[in-house]
Amino acid sequence: MEGESSWNSPWGPGRPDWNIQSSEMSMHDLNPSFDIHGGARDLIFPNHETETAQSCAACSVNNVRYWIHTDFFLNGNGSIENGSTELHKSIGDFITIRKVLRLYHPLALRFFLIDTHYQSWVHYTSKELENASDQVFNIYQALYNCEMTLSPFREKSFKDEITPSIQDCIRRFRNCFQSSMACDLHAYCVLNAIGTAMKTINIVLNSLKNNQQQPSLIQSLIALEKEVKDVLNILGLMSSSTYSEVLKQLMDIEENWVDRGPSAAADSAKEFSEK
């Protein structure tokens, strides 16, 4: 590029670059071929294109199966065009996970991050994280209610089949998970499907509470609960703590926000200015 250090070569102007280290480390610690190579989208050119060119030139077999390029965090609502700014460590405008966890539950942070595709801007605001916290609370409340309702029936054997409506719910939920994750890791679509499944769980729970304890409903709830928990575990949203412990942790965090009032949002924004 014009104005940058370069030298003449038979293939055109060459210029200094650090990507030879990337090729060397990948081949030394992994193999010439490996599955996933990540980085921010601003590294596609010249960093990753250069790395690809020199690795392929050096090795007869060189292949990265998936290049995963993420977008940036934005401080504020909307897009860059609407006034939001990118967070950059190089200029001191960034926030660490450690600081975020002073204000929010780890599961809320994970939910918040999963809820945006990795190739899209992530809008960091207190409102978005509070919403993620509410979503996690609703999930764990439903799971806790399942645990309490189903505990007397866990050891029993049921011959009744799952109801057709729950079979259809499980089928659609499973298909959504598989297709969304296979389509470039669209995990946020899975979160929407989890929300729909939770509504169905609550409907079944209400039916059971209204003395409609048909074995088919119990069997259906057990099957749907397992399906949802399996997906939550894959997404890293199943805690090692009990449901009641997670709910208490979330309520304690919310109470802390309420007690601090308007200063809580200010403290959240202040985290960006702390070095």
pLDDT tens digits along 184-233: 999 999 999 999 999 999 999 999 988 667 889 999 999 999 999 999 99
Most confident of 31-40, 85-94, 199-208, 263-272: 199-208
- Co-location of 174 and 44 in the same domain: no
Q: What is the pLDDT of residues 91-121, one digit of tens each?
A: 666 778 998 999 999 999 999 999 999 999 8
Kindly state whether residues 141 and 249 are assigned to the same domain: yes
**Which structural domain, as residue segments, surrounds residue 32?**
19-70
- State the Cα–Cα distance between residues 142 and 219, nearest whole angstrom: 17
Would you list the DSSP string of 192-216?
A: HHHHHHHHHHHHHHHHHHTT---HH
232: domain CATH number? 1.10.730
Residues 6+ apart with CB under 8 A from 86: 72, 73, 74, 75, 80, 93
Does 209 map to a domain?
Answer: yes
| Torsion 252-258-263-266 (CA) sign | positive
The secondary structure of the chain in percent helix, strand, coil, rounded to multiples of 5, reads 60, 10, 30
Could you tell me if residue 207 is inside a domain?
A: yes
Q: Is residue 82 part of a domain?
A: no
Average pLDDT over the chain reads 86
Whether residue 42 is found in the same domain as residue 137 = no
**Number of structural domains, the chain?**
2
**pLDDT, mean of residues 248-257:** 92
Q: Is the pLDDT of residue 16 over 90?
A: no
Confidence (pLDDT) at 80: 43
Residue 38: strand pairing partners: 68
Tell me, yes or no, whether 215 lies in a domain: yes
Residues 110 and 243 in one domain: yes
Q: What is the pLDDT of residue 61?
A: 81
Residue 220, both tokens: 């259906």
DSSP-based three-state secondary structure for 178 = helix
pLDDT average, residue stretch 138-144? 98
Decide if pLDDT at 251 tops 60: yes
Same-domain pairing of 125 and 222: yes
pLDDT at 263: 53
Question: Can you tell me the distance from the alpha carbon of 116 to that of 97, in angstroms, rounded to the nearest whole number?
Answer: 17
Can you give the pLDDT at residue 8? Answer: 84
